[in-house]
Structure 1
Amino acid sequence: MQHKVNIMSRSSLNIALLADSRSFGGIESHIANLALGLEQSGHRVLIVLMANYGEHPVFDANPKLRAKTIKLSGGVVELYNTLDKLSVDVVHTHGYKAGIIGRFVCRMQDKAVVSTFHAGERGSLKIRFYRWLDRISAKGHQCISVSQPIARELGISSDVIQNFVEPATTKNVSFGGRQLAFVGRFSAEKGPDTFVKVAASMPEHIFAMYGAGPQFSSLDKCKPLNMCLLGQVPSMLPHWQDIKVLCITSRAEGLPLVALEAMAHGIPVVSYAVGGLPSLIDHGNNGWLVEGHEPSQFIAALTQVMQLSQSRFKLIAQNARKTILDKFSTSAVVPQIETVYRQALGG
C-alpha cells in the first residue's frame, strides 16, 4: 500500500493497456486513442497483447503504436513476469479475457488494476459465460463502463466514461460525400441485414458497407444494385470524405467509436436508439435517433434526412463535429481516466 501511495505522488505513471486482440474493432481503436492520449499527458504507456496472432491491423499499422506494443505467447506465467519486469504502476484491461486473467495476475503482484467494459451485445452462450465471469471477478476493482446501459448491466460499481476520439483536422473534414454507409462487423448484433433492407427500399441513393464478419458472404449475394460491399479496410481515414451519413442499425451497442469518428469528420449519424447512442445524438440537432427496431422505421427516418435542404443538413453536420470537440475528444476524456488510475492506486 505504501508503494501505491508513493506512486500517487508522481505526475507520470507507467501504464500497461492489456488486451487479447487480433483484429480491427472498437476496442482496438479505443486502446489506440487512449495510448496516444496518455502519452500526450506525459505518461509511459505500453500495449500488452496477451497472444501473438501476427501482424496487427491497428497496433502495427501506426509506427508510434508499434513501438509501444509487446506481444506475448498467451501464458499466464509470461504475463506475470512481463508485468513484473516492466515495473508497471497501473494495468488497464480491455475485453473479458484480459480482464479475468489480468486482475488475477495483478492481485498476485499487488498492482493497481482498472478494467473497462466496452461490449453491449450478448454474443454466443460461451461468450456470455466469459462475460459473466469477467463481471463477477471485477467486483471490488476499479471499473469503467463506456455507457450508462453497460454500467447498469454490469451490476457492480463503475465509473461511466464515454468513448472518445482525436478530432479530425479541419482539412480532413468534408461535407461533400454521397454514400449512406454501414461501418462495422457483419454479425447479427450489428444489424447488417437491416441495412441491406434499407438500401433495397431506397434505390435512388448510394449505399456502402465497410467491414467483415460471418454474414459477409450471404449479404454479398443478396445486396441490391445500389449497394457496394467494400470489405475490411485498413483505415477509414481515406473513406470518410465519400460518406454523407453513417447508419447504425445495431440491435445492441455500447457507445460505438465509429459514431464518434464519423461525427468528428462532420458526418452525422442515423441510428436506432440503443446503448449509449442517445447520450451522443441530440435528435434533429447533431444527428437522428430511430425509435424501435423495424427496418421500416429506419427507412422512414433516413428518407426524411435525405429530403433536408443542403443548408440544414450542413448545420447538423457541423453540430455533430462540435459535439465531439466539446465532449468526446481526447482532451475532454483522458483526464477522467487518469482520475480513475489515481483512485485505483489510492485504494
Structure 2
Amino acid sequence: MSRSSLNIALLADSRSFGGIESHIANLALGLEQSGHRVLIVLMANYGEHPVFDANPKLRAKTIKLSGGVVELYNTLDKLSVDVVHTHGYKAGIIGRFVCRMQDKAVVSTFHAGERGSLKIRFYRWLDRISAKGHQCISVSQPIARELGISSDVIQNFVEPATTKNVSFGGRQLAFVGRFSAEKGPDTFVKVAASMPEHIFAMYGAGPQFSSLDKCKPLNMCLLGQVPSMLPHWQDIKVLCITSRAEGLPLVALEAMAHGIPVVSYAVGGLPSLIDHGNNGWLVEGHEPSQFIAALTQVMQLSQSRFKLIAQNARKTILDKFSTSAVVPQIETVYRQALGG
C-alpha cells in the first residue's frame, strides 16, 4: 500500500434514499477521484437500492450481505481493506465490534441530530458508548457536543452541479425530506396554507405522508419519494427546512450547489452553512409564524437581489462544502485511525 492510496470499505445498513445514503455516494466517488479503492458494504440485502444501484459506478462498488454478523466478519476478513468507515448506528455498533476482533482500523461518522423514538435513542446511546476510543467524525458541532466523546467535526459535502445545470428560474417553495415529526413537515403545510399566492411542493415519504396529504392546501402538491432530485431542482426557487432538529442536512448543500437558497430554522449545523441575508436565511425560534414572516420577506426581494443571494449560495458550496474541499479532511482521519 502506498502512502497515497487506501482500500476503504464504507459500511451501512440501508434500504432507502436519504442523507446518509447521499453522503456515502458522494464520499465513495470523491475517494475514488482521489485515487483510493472503495467498496460500499451494505449489511443486508433489501433488493434494488434507490441510490447505490441507480448509479452504474456505485453499483459496481456495492456488496450486499444477508444481515449476519458472521457473514460480515468473513467478508471483511477476505477483503484487503485498510479502513472500515461506518455510517449509522447499526453499522457503527456491529462494524466496530467486528473490526476490533480483526484488528482493522475503523472510523465512524455520526450524522443524525434528531432524538427519535425510545428504541432509536437506546441504539444511538449504545452507538456512542461503543465508539469511545475510536476515530469518530461528526457532521456538525451540535452533534459533536451531544456525542460526548472525542470526534472530528467534518461537515457534509456535495459534488457541485456544473454551470449548465444551474437554474434560477424555479417557482416552487419546496420541502425535501422525510415526512416525520423531527423534520417538521406539518409546519411546512401551515406555512403553505398561510401563503396561498405561492406554489409549494413536498418531496419525500414517511409516516406523516397520508395525514398531510389529506389536509394539504390547494396551492401545495405532494410529489412523494422521487428516485433523484436532479430533474427537480430546476423547478425550485427556495428550499424550506422546517426541522425541529438536524445535523447538517445534505439536501441543503445540494440545493445551494444548484443555486437554490435555503430558508431554515437555526437548528443543528445550519448556522455554520447559512450566512443570514447573504447566501440564505435563518429563522430564529420554532413557530410557524416566524417562518412565514421570514419567507414572506424573501419572496418580496427584487429579482436582482434574490439572484445575487442564489449565486452566493452556490459559491459557498464551491469554496467550503465541495468534494475537493472536504474529502482530504476525511482522508486525514483515516490516516489517524491507521496510526492509532
Cα shift at 1:9: 5.1
Large movers: runs of 4+ above 2 Å: none
Q: Deviations over 1:305-330 (max 9, x none)?
A: 00000000000000000000000000
In 2, the alpha carbon distance for the partners of 1:80 and 1:172 equals 43
SS at match of 1:279: helix
Residue 115 of structure 1 and its aligned partner are, at CA, apart by: 0.1
What is the Cα deviation at residue 227 of structure 1?
0.2
Which of 146, 153, 178 aligns to 2:139? It is 146
Residues 162-218 of structure 1 deviation map (CA, whole Å, 9 limit, x = unaligned): 000000000110000000000000000000000000000000000000000000000
Other structure's SS at 2:49 match: coil
Unaligned ranges ≥5, structure 1: 1-7
Indicate the residue corresponding to 1:102 in structure 2: 95
Question: 1:329 and 1:81 mapped to 2: Cα distance?
Answer: 35
Separation of aligned partners in 2, 1:332 and 1:231: 33
1:61 matched to 2:61? The reply is no
Q: Report the more deviating stretch, 41-50 or 8-17.
A: 8-17
Alignment partner, residue 265 of structure 2: 272
Q: Distance in 1 between matches of 2:81 and 2:338?
A: 12
Cα deviations by residue, 1:116-151 (Å, 9 ceiling, x for unpaired): 000000000000000000000000000000000000
TM-score normalised according to structure 2 size? 1.00
CA distance in 2, matches of 1:104, 1:311: 55
TM-score, normalised by the number of residues in structure 1: 0.98
CA distance, structure 2, for counterparts of residue 180 and residue 77 of structure 1: 47
Give the Cα separation in 1 of the matches to 2:318 and 2:20. 21
SS for the counterpart of 1:195 is: helix
Counterpart of 1:123 in 2: which secondary structure? coil
Report the Cα offset of residue 87 of structure 1.
1.5
What is the DSSP-based 3-state SS (H/G/I as helix, E as strand, rest coil) of the residue aligned with 2:238?
strand
Partner of 1:323: 316
Number of aligned residues: 340
What SS is found at the alignment partner of 1:12? coil
- The one-character-per-residue Cα deviations of 1:238-293 (angstroms, maximum 9, x if unpaired) are 00000000000000000000000000000000000000000000000000000000
CA distance in 1, matches of 2:293, 2:221: 22
| Residues in 2 aligned to 1:229 and 1:52: alpha-carbon distance in whole angstroms | 29
Aligned equivalents of 1:85, 1:11: Cα separation in 2: 22
Deviations, residues 71-108 of structure 1 (Å, cap 9, x unaligned): 00011110011011011110000000000000000000
Tell me how far 1:346 sits from its aligned partner: 0.2
Shift of 1:11: 1.5
Deviation at 1:10, TM superposition (A): 2.7
Q: Report the 3-state secondary structure (helix = DSSP H, G, I; strand = E; otherwise coil) of the residue aligned with 2:86.
A: strand
**2:127 is aligned with 1:134:** yes
State whether structure 2 residue 233 is matched by structure 1 residue 240.
Answer: yes
CA distance in structure 2 between the aligned counterparts of 1:219 and 1:131, rounded to whole angstroms: 29
1:169 aligns with 2:167: no
- Matching residue of 2:63: 70
Distance 2:6 2:298 in 1: 46
